[in-house]
Chains A and B, each alone.
Chain A
């Protein structure tokens, strides 16, 4: 009932309701059932009945049937639809039938794996205890590992551990690999971008090892809604898959509210901060004891929100411990504690980054507040799915921030409500990634020239590694010829294996409080930065870049810091291009040099700039792929040049916010640079580049879909209610100058041309190569 009261308040309090741009009531959905499959093991049937399950949802039954027919499957259903049964039923059935058979479960994170194993163990115990389930991850004690290797019927792990801990030692896992019948890949949609491209290669290695031991396991994957599950699944596991997406699970009624923070300065088009509005909205739920999850867009935002809400709660006379933060960078024990407290109801409100988007079990929450559009439709539904398990009413509030993308979404709710989710993209052929895993593969087993590795011919890469004295070729075989262990040098999650540790030195102690990856370090933990952890502020006193350590001290200040990133760019190679007419579109390879020069101090609440400081850290260089638009010529006239500059900036701002909509990626995966006279083209150019070495396919995809993307940019520009341009579309006037909207409109018209796009040179090769 309290959910309804909070919603009533949103509806009836004018200070809140005037900001609501759309209110959508989603009706409850009835379940659709199927009988237990006849062939299914009787003790499993009995166990299901014991737990009050009399029938299966139709998608569970069809997953069982399809899996037992021997097909590789991807089950695509929303959060809380009982997807674990989709793999547990056929697998438990098969393992009961054949005691020697083995299964390998892969979860994207350790937390998810631990969660699933607890449930699975409960099942197997009740099934007589013949099926042994073990988690194998970095936390597994050394004594337990031997038993797991030989006796584990079901081994639950994550791709990182498979990559660095299991495959390089496959002889110790002989029993598993000889008898491997099933591989489960849970949360398939999370394996996209860099992580997905790496994982696809880890699975290629796994397939080689299975062939060596004479097994050919079958895949069962589950995924949240994406638009290309069949394609994505088959790219990832390297085989064609059968998609099961006929969801039979019920859903309680849901109220989805789109909320746009009020304009505070109409002339400059500045809106109130989404963080402040999120606090206002969340308060309505929390003070009625509605268990609520808030999603923030960044680690910093998470901590700011926790700080705000704790203060509010304190004023309301309630314990501020009822509000907790949850994000990457917290230590595992701390995270487990928060998860338990959420399930037990000891924590009322949790503020999280997308870390809680996945299936970590935190029990039933009643409301979700999304601070900012999560970047993709799929993520939006995942985050919204955190509220409303069971058949009770639940509420989801999506609060737009001032970015163009967010403004578009809150003003066009049909964009989220009316269409399917995005595609998940991976590029297992990324040269850097492919080479890393070929090295690991040769380490695991010598490579022969009749083998393939996803791509048909890898002999030229292997021979290159021979030149590099990493491998040795003898006849038709390549052997590993180094002392080291290649897997430790390859991290599946980021561009570099090495993280920076943040050490709290307050009062003479030395305690590690968190970690930051190498590329984020110059932005987040430069000297003078305010790093926030568990809503405690830390001042970074010293960053020891070589030793990868930052020394921090607890402080209490009224500002946070924001670092500026300067990027330079050099074109190395053109992969495909359109003919140069009035404009030209290109896809190719570039070298990006990024350097942080300074940071700003920004006051809480008012968000005013109250000072700055220099940053002197080494430049980060990266070879990657990019898409760029070049305009034919630079006007002579100075005023015209300024107008063009303004149009370039405006388009760049719009692009960086639009592209994530079209390609399922986060804005952080891409960078944009606009240059009036690019050193490479000698012409006005906008580059959109991938922030991962070698790229994972976004630039190529962007080049191919450029018409759709540029049309979306136009739509975004025209749908903004401002007249001359504002921070929500082309960017602040201080950056793009006056009349930025008009200049951008003109630039777009010129580079898009009218009529059909000319045939692309080079694209054909690209398709063939693909």
Chain B
């Protein structure tokens, strides 16, 4: 038995029915996609350019809005001071389509698309390698395109698209990976505002719920790699029509999301319609030490809150704002109200009675109450309560701090 027989007999998977030899895609019809072939020292690849005349409607918003929106909103939502001075003419909205999600050096970005504003248009350029050997030419084009870009806007690009592109550049050994001054990943901001409200924060979910975008005849992201492989095998360029469309929609939605987020970031409490948005903004203010402002947004969140769990979380957050503001007269009633549900409230009460009102008996009572609660709900916190209780008991015995 020779090697090829052996391979067939023992190793071959029997699942295959398609025995056609793979197609030669080098001459794939670029016109089919409405694109053109671009060539450079490393060969050629395909460029598809689409122009949208502003104010182009996408979902319930207009792309034109992006130009008018204040980037201070994003600056706050992303906690990125540099976003405030962002120059939109040097900003691109980027998204890639890849041969897999697993990562590693065997995953290719076969389509890299990005959109930018020019004059009265939003322009999307998509660079595509029609087969693996075209990667170098594609990277060369991207190298030139991205050289003057200052800001990159992506959705989950910080952990996926950008590191993958970096790897592709490193592997090419031609140019070092492009450097952009600022990379805004909108996923983080979206999570801050909608994590508690939506089943997921995927771009598709956000389109449906926030941006009012309806996708029709779209290829699901999970099927994209197989589409590309099927195209390579068959040479049928129409297989990629949906993929190009999918990528275009992603980029348009990215721009729309940018404007939606900016607006939320500067919105007054009254203008917000969802509890989770108000809560997300409130939390950012609180983290930055602006507790008074935070309280205004928390109040709005309470107005809009629908369930007990959310209310409890909001009240707790409010009590901590008051604590930071030294308004224990406002914090104490909240801790009291929650002391049967939230161990940390018992802890706060115990601290408050011990250090502020010097009432050791009440402090001990709160701590013991907290221990019982913690043992049931949060065993890892029990130890802290036991420490506090034994310390309080010691102080009580020694008579220190006992009133009269």
Which residues from chain A sit less than 8 Å from chain B, CB to CB? 168-172, 174, 431-432, 435, 442-446, 460-461, 464, 466-469, 472-475, 477, 479-487, 572-573, 589, 623, 694
Is B101 engaged at the interface, CB distance under 8 Å to the other chain?
yes
* A479 to B, closest residue via Cβ: B132
Closest CB pairs A-B (n = 6): A443-B106, A483-B100, A480-B106, A485-B102, A168-B104, A479-B132
Residues of A near B4 (CB, < 8 A) are 460, 464
**In-complex Cβ contact of A445 among B7, B26, B100, B105 (8 A):** B105
* A573 to B, closest residue via Cβ: B1
Q: List 21 A-B contacts (CB under 8 A).
A: A170-B105, A432-B11, A435-B11, A445-B105, A460-B3, A460-B4, A464-B4, A464-B8, A466-B22, A468-B13, A468-B16, A469-B16, A472-B22, A475-B133, A479-B132, A482-B100, A485-B100, A485-B102, A485-B104, A485-B106, A694-B10
Residues of B near A467 (CB, < 8 A) are 16, 19
**In-complex Cβ contact of B171 among A432, A445, A464 (8 A):** A445
In the complex, are the beta carbons of A485 and B103 less than 8 A apart? yes
**In-complex Cβ contact of B170 among A171, A479, A480 (8 A):** A171
Assembly CA distance A477 to B131 (angstroms): 12
Residues of A near B3 (CB, < 8 A) are 431, 460-461
Given A443-B104, A483-B225, answer yes or no on A464-B7 (Cβ-Cβ < 8 Å).
Answer: yes
| Chain B stretch 216-269: residues in CB contact (< 8 A) with chain A | 225-226, 229, 232-233
Given A171-B167, A446-B132, A481-B229, answer yes or no on A468-B12 (Cβ-Cβ < 8 Å).
Answer: yes
Is B6 engaged at the interface, CB distance under 8 Å to the other chain?
yes
Proximity string of chain B (105-147) to chain A, C-beta cutoff 8 Å, 1 when within and 0 when not: 1101000000000000000000000011100000000000000
In the complex, are the beta carbons of A443 and B7 less than 8 A apart? no
Is B288 engaged at the interface, CB distance under 8 Å to the other chain?
no
Can you add 6 more A-B contacts, CB < 8 Å, to A431-B6, A469-B229, A483-B99?
Answer: A431-B11, A464-B11, A474-B131, A482-B100, A484-B102, A694-B10
**In-complex Cβ contact of B232 among A174, A442, A445, A481 (8 A):** A481
Residues of B near A473 (CB, < 8 A) are 22
Distance of A759 from chain B, by nearest CB (Å): 22
Residues of A near B6 (CB, < 8 A) are 431, 573, 589
**In-complex Cβ contact of A171 among B102, B105, B131 (8 A):** B105
Is B67 engaged at the interface, CB distance under 8 Å to the other chain?
no
Assembly CA distance A432 to B11 (angstroms): 7
Distance of B375 from chain A, by nearest CB (Å): 19
Given A174-B170, A461-B7, A589-B1, answer yes or no on A477-B12 (Cβ-Cβ < 8 Å).
Answer: no
* A442 to B, closest residue via Cβ: B106
In the complex, are the beta carbons of B132 and A168 less than 8 A apart? no
In the complex, are the beta carbons of A477 and B103 less than 8 A apart? no
Proximity string of chain B (130-170) to chain A, C-beta cutoff 8 Å, 1 when within and 0 when not: 01110000000000000000000000000000000011001
Residues of B near A589 (CB, < 8 A) are 1, 6, 10
* B232 to A, closest residue via Cβ: A472
Assembly CA distance A446 to B105 (angstroms): 10
| Chain B stretch 188-236: residues in CB contact (< 8 A) with chain A | 225-226, 229, 232-233
**In-complex Cβ contact of B7 among A431, A442, A469 (8 A):** A431
- What is the size, in residues, of chain B's interface with A at 8 Å between Cβ atoms? 37
Is B9 engaged at the interface, CB distance under 8 Å to the other chain?
yes
**In-complex Cβ contact of B102 among A460, A483, A572 (8 A):** A483
Residues of A near B104 (CB, < 8 A) are 168-169, 443-444, 485, 487
* B230 to A, closest residue via Cβ: A469
Given A431-B11, A460-B3, answer yes or no on A481-B99 (Cβ-Cβ < 8 Å).
Answer: yes
Distance of B158 from chain A, by nearest CB (Å): 14
Residues of A near B106 (CB, < 8 A) are 168, 442-444, 480, 485-486
Assembly CA distance A469 to B1 (angstroms): 23
Proximity string of chain B (1-41) to chain A, C-beta cutoff 8 Å, 1 when within and 0 when not: 10110111111110010110010001000000000000000
Assembly CA distance A483 to B107 (angstroms): 7
Residues of A near B170 (CB, < 8 A) are 171, 174
In the complex, are the beta carbons of A483 and B226 less than 8 A apart? yes
In the complex, are the beta carbons of A477 and B133 less than 8 A apart? yes
* B104 to A, closest residue via Cβ: A168
* A436 to B, closest residue via Cβ: B11
Task: Name the residue among B102, B103, B226 with the largest chain A CB count within 10 angstroms.
Answer: B102
Residues of A near B233 (CB, < 8 A) are 469
Task: Name the residue among B10, B18, B22, B106 with the largest chain A CB count within 10 angstroms.
Answer: B106
Residues of B near A468 (CB, < 8 A) are 12-13, 16
Residues of B near A435 (CB, < 8 A) are 7, 11
In the complex, are the beta carbons of A169 and B105 less than 8 A apart? yes
Assembly CA distance A468 to B233 (angstroms): 12
Residues of A near B9 (CB, < 8 A) are 572
